[in-house]
Amino acid sequence: MIIPVRCFTCGKLIADRWEEFARRVKAGERPKKVLDDIGMNRYCCRRMFISQVDVVDDLLRYAQVTAKKRAQFD
């Protein structure tokens, strides 16, 4: 899923900080510390990052399986 450009609640620009947040959390840092370090102080903006779910990989996998099944029946 693509991170929204702005926070839904306050309208603050947040997308420019997503890559650093995702990289550091994936490296094993605590999300709270990363959000504090990158300057995400508002709880509404923090919610945008914490609740973000990347489902693109799952959707792509589903599309590949569907394409294979269609090829079997064609």
Q: Is residue 8 situated within a structural domain?
A: no
Domain assignment of residue 29, given as a range? 15-73
CATH of the domain at 21: 1.10.10.60
Question: Is 41 exposed, middle or buried (CB count within 10 Å of its CB: 0-12, 13-18, 19+)?
Answer: exposed
Query: Domain count of the chain?
Result: 1
Chain centroid to CA 21: how far? Answer: 9
Q: Is residue 26 situated within a structural domain?
A: yes
Q: Is residue 57 situated within a structural domain?
A: yes
Question: What's this model's pTM, rounded to 2 decimal places?
Answer: 0.72
Q: Is residue 31 situated within a structural domain?
A: yes
Q: Is residue 5 situated within a structural domain?
A: no
pLDDT in tens, 10-67: 999 999 999 999 999 999 999 999 999 999 999 999 999 999 887 777 777 887 788 8
| pLDDT of residue 74 exceeding 80 | no
Distance CA 59, CA 13 (A): 27
Give the amino acid at 18: W
Q: Is residue 19 situated within a structural domain?
A: yes
What six digits make up the tokens of 43? 């709880």
